[in-house]
Every structure is written in C-alpha cells, then in structure tokens.
Amino acid sequence: MALPDASGSTPNAEQTLDSALAAAVAAAGRQGALLEDLWHAAFAIEPELASSVDRRSRLLASLERLAASGRLRTWPTRRANFERSSLPPLPLVVRAPATAARERPIRPALPAELRPELAEAGKLDRIRADEVATLVAVNEFLRDFDSARPPVPVRERSLEIFGDEKRLDAVRSQRLYVTGVLSDELLRCFEVHPPFVYLRVSDAPTALVLENHHTYDSACRVLKIDPRDIGVVVYGAGRAFCASVTYLADLDPDVKQAYYFGDLDTAGLSIPASAHMVGEAAGTAPVTPALELYRALLASPHRRPATPVSAAAATGLVAWLPEDLRAGVSELLISGHWVPQEAVGLELMGSIDHWL
C-alpha cells in the first residue's frame, strides 16, 4: 500500500498531479501554461487540493519534479515572474522544454489488436507514450468487460482499469477524452460530486453559500419566510466547499448563479475564489460575492485582531470582490484585523431587504 508523505499525499497522487501539469504545459504550446491553467488542471484531477493548506507547496513541488526530469523548462528567477499573494511564490508561466530543430519524435506503437471502439486513436497526431499506456489498459478492460454490468463512479472504474483511483481524473481532462477517443459512456462510468447540506427555499435559479453553520442556520430561518430571490441555501463548511462546489450541478431546478458569504479574513476570501476556479473548470455556476451581506459585514464594529497581511497578498485576496469593496477590505487585512461573518446575524439579516 502506498504510504502518504509529510503532506498527506501518496506517490500515486503525486504522479497523477505531475502528469496533469505536464499535459497542461504541453497543450499550451510555445506561449506556455499560465498559473491559472495549472490550477485548473490540478483541480480537475484532485478537487480537494483546492481546500488543502499546502496546495501551493504541492503545486510547486510537482513543477520542480517535472523541471528536474526535463519535462519542463526551468523558469526565470526574476521576482516579476512569480505570483506572490502567498507562500511559496509560484511561477506565472511555465513552458515545455525546447525541441531540437532536427529532432524527430518517435511515435509509440498502438496495441496490435486495438478494439474497434478505440479506432479513432489511430488518427491522433504524434500520440504520446502515456496515451499509449492508457489505451493499452483500456483495451484490456474493454476486451474483458461484460456489457451487462452497470455504470459505476469514475474513481471505482479508474481503480479497476489502472489500479489507481485518481488516474482517470487526469485522463478525463486530457486529449484522449477531449477528442472523443475515450468517454464516460465508453468506460461505463459517471462523475460523482462531493455533496453539501442545503435547504431549498424557492425555485429561483440561485444559491447562497454560507461559510459557517451558525450563519447558515440564521439565513435559513430568514429565507424560509422571505426567499429574497434565493433558491437554495448551502452550508459551505469552510474549505470543503472548494471541492463540493461541483455538487451545484446536481441540484434540480438548475442553479445558474451561486453567491457566497463568509468571514472577512484570508481563508474566508480564498475559499470562494478557489471554489470559483474549481467550478469554472467543471462548468458549474459561477461563485460571486453576496454583495449587500459583505457591505454589512465590512461596516460591522466587531473587528478581531489577526496577523497583518502584506499589501501584495491583500491585493490577491480581494480580487474576488467587486472593486468598490476592495480598498476597505484590503485596509482591514493589512491593519491586522478580520471580521467573523456571525457579525451579520439573524436579526441584522432580517433587516436587509436585498442580500445579493
């Protein structure tokens, strides 16, 4: 059994992350992969990474492994080349290694007896060794598969095919899936989104996500009387929402827009920003601020002491907020303060007519 390292991740998880990042960089071509592209690739194969306190360290460690093995170029060390909203600093752009002008890539061989369902693989340009390895495993799976078996969750199928429950997460974001060579339908599997606790208060196509459970309870009590254009009240459970945001896609009626309300502190601002990125990559509803609730929270006298945040870090944290709130929240963070969302409690919520 693979044992976790100091970060809690297993060797298989790190290999999967490395493969996903390498594929993202290769797909970006000469211009290189932006840091945002790398986060999207990482969250696509490991959604829980978005809520991990060591996500930046793991991303950097993966990039350093890829650079050391020659799969990426070493990035310039000038300060301007890094995103520094938190530690460790991360490169803004990562590029694939240059290919020698006279180098001719060797085309790996596809399985000799390729299943007819995989025939489109023969049309791929410059198929890679990792893609061939994937096709070999899938070819064997299809050869022995009983079509009477029911579809199963993606990670169950991934473990059956590859011996790694997260391998298919990476494959589903790469070329074999994008071009239609592989699909969930072919592999008889389906995505499962981490669920969250919620209360439906109307049929409106909107959700309000609350970071903490006491504020969730207060919001439910108020909105059951007057929904205020909100359809679903969601308990985000802190950083858990960075992974469970994709569960919005499972709600019926559909949620077209999610509004978030949390603490005014570093975690409370990074959670919805990360959740928005995860949701965007998965095609779920965008996550934006519950504007009037944040206005009320910023105006609250209940400011608590906290570790001061640098101006650069504050700029990154408040980028998710609308422009007219950024200066006030930046000042709050830089001055070494935060405001718990409980400052906008049941009674104050009830007095605010419009929350969004």
Note the pLDDT tens digit of each residue in 276-333: 998 998 899 999 999 999 999 999 999 999 999 999 889 999 999 999 999 999 999 9
Number of domains in the chain: 3
Task: Tell me, yes or no, whether 214 and 131 share the same domain.
Answer: no
pLDDT, position 104: 52
22-31, 70-79, 181-190: which has the highest mean pLDDT?
Answer: 181-190
Task: Tell me, yes or no, whether 184 and 243 share the same domain.
Answer: no
Task: Tell me, yes or no, whether 164 and 226 share the same domain.
Answer: no
Q: Is the pLDDT of residue 4 over 90?
A: no
With cut-offs at 50, 70 and 90, classify the pLDDT of residue 11: low
Task: Tell me, yes or no, whether 126 and 149 share the same domain.
Answer: yes
pLDDT, position 102: 46
Task: Tell me, yes or no, whether 309 and 214 share the same domain.
Answer: yes
Domain end residue (candidates: 190, 205, 239): 190
Instruction: Note if the bond before 253 is cis, omega within 30 degrees.
Output: yes
d(CA 54, CA 35): 16
* Mean pLDDT to the nearest integer, 162-188: 92
Stated as kind and residue range, the H or E segment containing 280 is helix 266-282
Q: Is residue 99 part of a domain?
A: no
With cut-offs at 50, 70 and 90, classify the pLDDT of residue 189: very high
Domain end residue (candidates: 62, 94, 126): 94
Residues near 58 by beta carbon (within 8 Å), at least 6 away in sequence: 7, 9, 14, 17, 49, 52
32: left (phi over 0), alpha (psi -120 to 50) or beta: left
Q: Is residue 110 part of a domain?
A: no
Report the percent of the chain where pLDDT is more than 70.
Answer: 94
Task: Tell me, yes or no, whether 162 and 204 share the same domain.
Answer: no
pLDDT, position 188: 97
pLDDT, position 106: 52
Q: Is the pLDDT of residue 207 over 90?
A: yes
Task: Tell me, yes or no, whether 167 and 82 share the same domain.
Answer: no
d(CA 331, CA 339): 12
* Mean pLDDT to the nearest integer, 8-14: 66
Residues near 97 by beta carbon (within 8 Å), at least 6 away in sequence: 70, 71, 72, 73
Task: Tell me, yes or no, whether 294 and 237 share the same domain.
Answer: yes
CB 118 within 8 A of CB 181: yes
What CATH number is associated with residue 281? 3.40.1360.10
With cut-offs at 50, 70 and 90, classify the pLDDT of residue 10: low
Q: Is residue 6 part of a domain?
A: no
pLDDT, position 51: 72
pLDDT, position 48: 78
Q: Is residue 205 part of a domain?
A: yes
Domain end residue (candidates: 190, 211, 230): 190
What confidence tens digit (pLDDT) does each residue in 213-229 have? 999 999 999 999 999 99
What confidence tens digit (pLDDT) does each residue in 74-132 have? 888 888 788 887 788 899 899 988 764 444 545 567 877 899 999 999 888 888 888 89
Q: Is residue 277 part of a domain?
A: yes
* Domain of residue 137, residue span: 116-190
What confidence tens digit (pLDDT) does each residue in 46-74 have? 877 877 778 888 999 999 999 888 888 88
pLDDT, position 40: 82
pLDDT, position 32: 84
- Of the given ranges (172-181, 227-236, 318-327), which has the lowest mean pLDDT? 172-181
- Of the given ranges (129-133, 136-140, 242-246), which has the lowest mean pLDDT? 129-133
Sort 65 into a burial class: Cβ within 10 Å, 0-12 / 13-18 / 19+: middle
pLDDT, position 3: 46
Task: Tell me, yes or no, whether 165 and 300 share the same domain.
Answer: no
Q: Is the pLDDT of residue 187 over 80?
A: yes
Answer with the residue of higher pLDDT: 124 or 349: 349
Task: Tell me, yes or no, whether 286 and 209 share the same domain.
Answer: yes
Task: Tell me, yes or no, whether 203 and 341 share the same domain.
Answer: yes
Q: Is residue 356 part of a domain?
A: no
Residue length of the chain: 356
Q: Is residue 319 part of a domain?
A: yes
Lookup result for tokens 């790398």:
38
pLDDT, position 239: 92
Q: Is residue 3 part of a domain?
A: no
Task: Tell me, yes or no, whether 87 and 121 share the same domain.
Answer: no
Task: Report the chain's mean pLDDT, rounded to a whole number.
Answer: 89
Say which DSSP state 137 is in. Answer: H
